[in-house]
């Protein structure tokens, strides 16, 4: 995938239903944010994207830990469940994902931008992503409804891993990139329609290599990377996209990325309740193990 396509527009494929009036979607997503940031000593390391190992040391598919930096072991605040329910994480059965679009301004700073904004050649954007539970993130790209390409996980990024912790922000692409061209999606002069598919799962997708397997595959079969998912995998994900999502879109734009957001991303710590909220929040309407949504990318 070339990073020169891109404009993120407000067409949310698979979650086009309006926010439900009988539910506070944003509140439900933020419930699992801790009241305060966890105490850390020194500068925390950027989080590993590899699967957490079981106590026996196995590196296979594992159940994510229930307690970790950035995710509360129970609810915070007076509105949470009773103490008898506090051992079970709130919203554990309903997955959610939050997306915020940032655009580089004339000073090189990241500013919150309405996805409906009309972008021009030379504009640069990135996405800040947040989940409400531990799980695995896959990002696929299609061009003009062509065949999908997996752009994350990537053998050259995060040791081929894609594990996310709840409410620990994740950038696409990363502001920590070694050069400016790796820190933004840049608009070029070629018009077209792109889609970014965000797949968030409780367990790794079957049939898609990950971590050392992905690195070895791409090392031995460079012509096959970035990976194209099999027809069976893509068909299953398309079915998951038919499940409706409840959405909430913010109308507040123009503010710069905050120190809290950049610090949390760089140090691998979770965002707290008082930290800035995602511009677009999408929650599964029913309990399930896979959430799939997509943003249509239009470059004119």
Question: Per residue in 246-269, pLDDT tens?
Answer: 999 988 899 999 999 998 988 889
CA 105 remoteness from chain centre: 23
Question: Containing domain of residue 164, as a range?
Answer: 8-37+90-299
* pLDDT (tens digit per residue) in 180-189: 778 888 878 8
The total of other beta-carbon atoms located within 10 Å of residue 134's CB is: 22
In a domain, 147, yes or no: yes
In a domain, 2, yes or no: no
In a domain, 217, yes or no: yes
Q: Six-digit token pair at 234?
A: 């893509």
pLDDT of residue 123: 86
Name the residue among 54, 125, 50, 132 with its Cα closest to residue 95: 132
Higher pLDDT, 3 or 124: 124
- Model confidence at 119, pLDDT cuts 50, 70, 90, reads confident
* pLDDT (tens digit per residue) in 32-56: 999 987 766 555 566 789 998 865 4
Helix H or strand E segment including 52 = none
Dist. CA 198–CA 287, nearest whole Å: 18
Res 198 pLDDT > 90: yes
* pLDDT (tens digit per residue) in 145-162: 899 999 999 998 899 999
Count of the separate structural domains present in the chain: 1
pLDDT of residue 175: 86
Q: What are phi and psi of 232, to 5 degrees?
A: -65, -45
- Model confidence at 293, pLDDT cuts 50, 70, 90, reads very high
Instruction: Give the predicted TM-score (pTM) of the model.
Output: 0.80
How confident is the prediction for the chain on average, in pLDDT? 79
In a domain, 187, yes or no: yes
In a domain, 44, yes or no: no
Helix H or strand E segment including 241 = helix 231-241
Looking from the CA of 18 toward its CB, the CA atoms found within 13 Å total 2
């Amino acid at each position: 995938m070339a990073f020169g396509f891109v404009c993120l527009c407000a067409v949310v494929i698979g979650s086009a239903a309006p926010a439900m009036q009988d539910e506070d979607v944003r509140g439900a997503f933020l419930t699992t944010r801790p009241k305060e940031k966890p105490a850390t000593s020194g500068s925390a390391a950027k989080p590993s994207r590899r699967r957490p190992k079981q106590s026996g040391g196995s590196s296979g598919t594992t159940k994510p830990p229930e307690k970790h930096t950035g995710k509360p072991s129970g609810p915070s605040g007076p509105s949470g469940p009773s103490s008898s329910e506090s051992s079970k994480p709130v919203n554990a059965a309903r997955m959610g994902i939050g997306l915020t679009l940032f655009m580089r301004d004339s000073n090189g700073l990241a500013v919150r931008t309405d996805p409906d904004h009309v972008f021009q050649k030379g504009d640069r954007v990135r996405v800040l992503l947040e989940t409400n539970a531990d799980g695995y993130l896959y990002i696929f790209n299609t061009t003009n409804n062509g065949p999908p390409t997996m752009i994350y996980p990537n053998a050259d990024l995060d040791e081929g891993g894609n594990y996310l912790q709840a409410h620990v922000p994740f950038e696409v692409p990363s502001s920590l990139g070694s050069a400016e061209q790796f820190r933004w999606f840049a608009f070029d002069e070629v018009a077209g329609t792109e889609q970014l598919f965000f797949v968030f799962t409780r367990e790794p997708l079957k049939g898609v290599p990950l971590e050392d397997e992905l690195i070895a595959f791409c090392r031995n079969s460079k012509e096959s990377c970035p990976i194209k998912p099999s027809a069976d995998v893509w068909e299953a994900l398309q079915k998951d996209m038919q499940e409706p999502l409840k959405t909430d879109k913010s109308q507040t734009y123009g503010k710069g990325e905050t120190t809290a957001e950049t610090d949390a991303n760089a140090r691998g710590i979770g965002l707290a309740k008082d930290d800035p909220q995602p511009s677009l929040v999408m929650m599964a309407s029913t309990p399930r193990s896979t959430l799939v949504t997509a943003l249509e990318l239009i470059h004119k």
